[in-house]
A and B are shown apart, each in its own frame.
Chain A
């Protein structure tokens, strides 16, 4: 059957129902009908990530009447994706996710066009992102989220309403997840909410090096120390089974020496790959929550989420919907520097290291300067050499209490402004 013979009003009768009938909660000024349907079908939408959430998002958008969908993902399909990424089969292992997912949904849902891009979101510039009406994110990386967040905020031109691209973000871990709607510069952004997604605290290096107590400590030792000692010329690749097996073997021996039980291959993989548990059902919930918001924003058929829904499924069904606040000291959408309290006697090096773990910063490779001088600069090498000596100095010898610094990180386009306040 060719697409031409498809009677849209019959095929899409449920969807057209909500788009053609005012509801008790839709805006009084809203005009339902063909205009709204056309607005939906002509909206270009971008999906970032074609993994657990992305597969669901693509399916949901296609069956919500979106006709022009783009998808970005740099990854290829792995066997461990098959328990939830339902657009992929055993035979697809090794192929790019974005392409396989796009082709599958295009074939299944007639009349939808899905354009894949295999690569990083950082490969694309503002012109590229400007073509979309909405961006939906289904990622597992905080770094990529922060990048797209700051990019979309940077694109906003107050004179041009079209430059404001709503960002709808979903994330899951095990039985938990969250969906949020961000209107760049107008509402709370990913960076405002950074401290709600704190990284897991790292095990102190001295524990790993000298006094392991847990099986994970032995694995970290093998991963961070033994590999450097024995195989430092080979970059460690967590996807390489032989590499992981070697780590496992080393960890086992160390565990045996310290009488620690419980090192398993599965645990080794979990530690070296930083694996987050993931299941189809949680992804289904969160992905559909994001696409439902996309439909509402594009068609105005109902009010959209303002602005955060968290979900937890371990005990019954629990959701909490609230409005996260826009922070005036948000380094991305605010105009004040974010305050960090620091120990004036800690070295610059220790401070730099702490930025990776502090929930409100999470910057792994920062360079920094005050208004007058560069404190530490990783690149180019000459500057690194010039500023390296500062690393051993105490903060109190480099900056004043309450002074502002600008921090840059290769993972992000923008500078982060922090005001360092000394602990009393």
Chain B
């Protein structure tokens, strides 16, 4: 095989060198997904008051910076605003010469400088107009919106995106506070969740398959081994060996509760030889340490059970996404064997090279066999739909099987609007009851949106976003909404917290601070990367950042 031993002369390509530090997080597959993605940034939607205050959109530009650098395919900035003096005090992707020019064009130009591999375009047409062309939105994999924007525009955008299954990130950054919400498609499955390998090993010691059992049985008489051999029996085999002994005196059962496991652990510990200079054996130490976490019989975690029970998994259609086809095949595997396909990885452990490799091969070949079985089922399902489906690549099935236990399904939620949605209201009320909760900040932002909505109403005579009367009116209205169902949750203290949060917001007259927008741009980009690569686990669904106290919180609203 030439590809497993390539010549040392073929070092990494210049692209691999440029992206080296990130490829170590999401690999070539994640990078490819990024490069195939085009991102839309709606960075303002016209003036928000009669004094022509416009959202600065720094958080949007900073988010894009963090996506252009790792190499998304392209981006489009929609922003009807022109560059003002105060933009220059807060936005790094503008320069003196940008004054008076289109902000979309200038930020696009300076962002493109960051990475020649990324294509960037801009538009000064308001988003509502652009959406009239039904071919506009489907070109994008993700939509970023810098709030506050007109309620009507946000609705249009969110509804259209939902229909097309395009995720939306709606962001606010004002003064020392920020918040953002992620609207995902109704079902958003993630296969490569990257759980911590230390805590997620699947060794199947309580459910061994015949080949593994056989390997354990070969370690028959530990006493006959010399010290070197004895100190190098892989701990997996040690545990299997002692489990067989245990079963003999426990009616064939493995230790099941804490007491039994502790007892079993002592039995393993007693097997170690201590008459050596080290006073013990590393392999036995490893075995002892693994007892509590490695002897649990296989059980299906709720995240994957939920996937199996979904209607999409139960009732496949000719046009079902490949995720559901594989999920259905893995479910069939589970129904048959009551375990998931083996991931096949083996942690490092004290052992002779050859012994370790042969044990590793037992895990690998079982994983391969399980994969073959699942693949067969997938092909049978595909066959049942005739020529309507093209075969799912083997690699995709393999990745699914390797990660099956940790697959996660997020059910998309809408961008929360407190004054419209009673479930949002009740979630916020619950959050308010938690001490130190950041929910008052999220309410303050909802009040800001309401203020903007009021200023946009036809016939509104209010001139400025900083109008006290409008703020008081909307604050009272939103507090009223929260109290309507159950006044108990919004006592005087909570009301005070909400008022403090709005007061803090208003110190910049709804304007952005660069630091907080940059920080938030980092957080939002992080979520964007997870959504685009479909790796790691994205936010569900709202994050609040408090720059006064340097804290953040996640809320499902």
- A residues bordering B, Cβ < 8 Å? 1, 6-7, 10-15, 17-18, 21, 23-25, 56, 59-60, 63-64, 79-80, 82-84, 86, 89-90, 108-110, 174-175, 179, 211-214, 241, 244-246, 248-249, 252, 256, 258-261, 265-266, 269-270, 275-289, 291-293, 295, 302-303, 305, 309, 311, 313-319, 321
Contacts and interface: CB of A to CB of B under 8 A. Distances in A.
Contacts of A56: 518
A89 B113 contact: yes
Contact of A281 (B9, B66, B352, B353): B66
Contact of A280 (B193, B501, B525): B525
B176 A13 contact: no
17 contacts: A6-B85, A64-B513, A83-B22, A83-B69, A109-B92, A213-B348, A258-B354, A266-B20, A275-B20, A277-B21, A284-B519, A293-B550, A302-B547, A303-B549, A309-B551, A316-B543, A317-B539
A254 to B, nearest CB: 10
A63 to B, nearest CB: 4
Given A25-B504, A82-B18, A179-B550, A14 B8 contact: no
A286 B518 CA distance: 10
B507 interface: yes
A286 B500 CA distance: 26
**Which residue, of A276, A314, A316, has the highest number of chain B Cβ atoms within 10 A?**
A316
B19 interface: yes
Contacts of A275: 20-21, 24
Contacts of A214: 348
B474 to A, nearest CB: 18
Interface in B344-361: 348-349, 351-354, 356-357, 360
Given A249-B8, A314-B537, A23 B21 contact: no
**Which residue, of B5, B22, B232, has the highest number of chain A Cβ atoms within 10 A?**
B22
Given A15-B513, A261-B4, A319-B552, A269 B20 contact: yes
Given A80-B20, A86-B65, A284-B62, 19 more contacts: A10-B85, A10-B86, A14-B86, A14-B89, A14-B175, A21-B507, A24-B503, A60-B514, A64-B514, A82-B18, A83-B71, A211-B352, A213-B348, A213-B356, A261-B4, A284-B519, A314-B536, A318-B552, A319-B551
Interface string B7-22: 0111110101111111
Given A14-B90, A279-B21, A284-B522, A317 B554 contact: yes
Interface string B107-144: 00000011110000000000000000000000000000
A63 B90 contact: yes
Given A14-B511, A284-B522, A266 B176 contact: no
Nearest to A286: B522
A83 B70 contact: yes
A288 B515 contact: yes
Contact of B515 (A17, A64, A175): A64
A256 to B, nearest CB: 7
A277 B25 contact: yes
B522 A282 contact: yes
B522 A11 contact: no
A242 B511 CA distance: 53
**Which residue, of B115, B116, B176, B351, has the highest number of chain A Cβ atoms within 10 A?**
B176
Given A248-B8, A261-B4, A63 B92 contact: yes
B526 interface: yes
A244 B9 CA distance: 11
Given A24-B503, A109-B92, A241-B11, A266 B16 contact: yes
Contact of B522 (A6, A25, A288, A314): A288
Interface of B: 4-6, 8-12, 14, 16-25, 56, 62, 65-66, 69-71, 85-86, 88-90, 92, 95-96, 99, 113-116, 175-176, 193-194, 232, 348-349, 351-354, 356-357, 360, 499-501, 503-504, 507-509, 511-516, 518-519, 521-523, 525-527, 529, 536-540, 543, 547-552, 554
A79 B522 contact: no
Nearest to A14: B511
B122 to A, nearest CB: 19
Contact of A79 (B4, B10, B18, B509): B18
Contact of A90 (B20, B88, B116, B554): B116
**Which residue, of B354, B522, B525, B540, has the highest number of chain A Cβ atoms within 10 A?**
B522
Nearest to A59: B92
Contacts of B175: 14, 17-18
B89 A281 contact: no
Given A83-B22, A275-B20, A277-B22, A14 B69 contact: no
A82 B193 CA distance: 27
Given A17-B509, A80-B20, A83-B22, A252 B518 contact: no
B19 A283 contact: no
A317 B114 contact: no
B140 to A, nearest CB: 19
A43 to B, nearest CB: 15
B250 to A, nearest CB: 33
B9 A245 contact: yes
B513 A18 contact: yes
B35 to A, nearest CB: 13
A258 B22 contact: no
A256 B5 CA distance: 9
A14 B515 contact: no
Contacts of A86: 65, 69, 114
B4 A108 contact: no
B548 A302 contact: yes
Contact of A15 (B19, B22, B89, B360): B89
B180 to A, nearest CB: 9
Nearest to A65: B89
A309 B357 contact: no
A328 B274 CA distance: 38
Contacts of A23: 503-504, 507, 548
Contact of A83 (B19, B176, B513): B19
A256 B25 CA distance: 27
B525 to A, nearest CB: 4
A214 B346 CA distance: 10
A11 B351 CA distance: 66
Contacts of B92: 59, 63, 108-109
Contacts of B353: 211-213, 258, 260
A175 B543 contact: no
B518 A266 contact: no
**Which residue, of B11, B56, B193, has the highest number of chain A Cβ atoms within 10 A?**
B11
A308 to B, nearest CB: 9
A59 B95 CA distance: 13
Nearest to A291: B515
B547 A292 contact: yes
Contacts of A108: 92, 95
Given A213-B356, A314-B536, A316-B540, A7 B519 contact: no
Contacts of A84: 21, 69-70
Contacts of A305: 549-550
A286 B66 CA distance: 13
A14 to B, nearest CB: 3
Given A175-B536, A258-B357, A11 B176 contact: no
A21 B508 CA distance: 9
A287 to B, nearest CB: 7
Contact of A24 (B17, B18, B56, B504): B504
B516 A292 contact: yes
A23 B174 CA distance: 14
A278 B21 contact: yes
Given A11-B89, A278-B21, A317-B552, A60 B518 contact: yes
B377 to A, nearest CB: 28
A83 B9 contact: no
Nearest to B87: A11
A50 B351 CA distance: 44
Contacts of B552: 311, 317-319
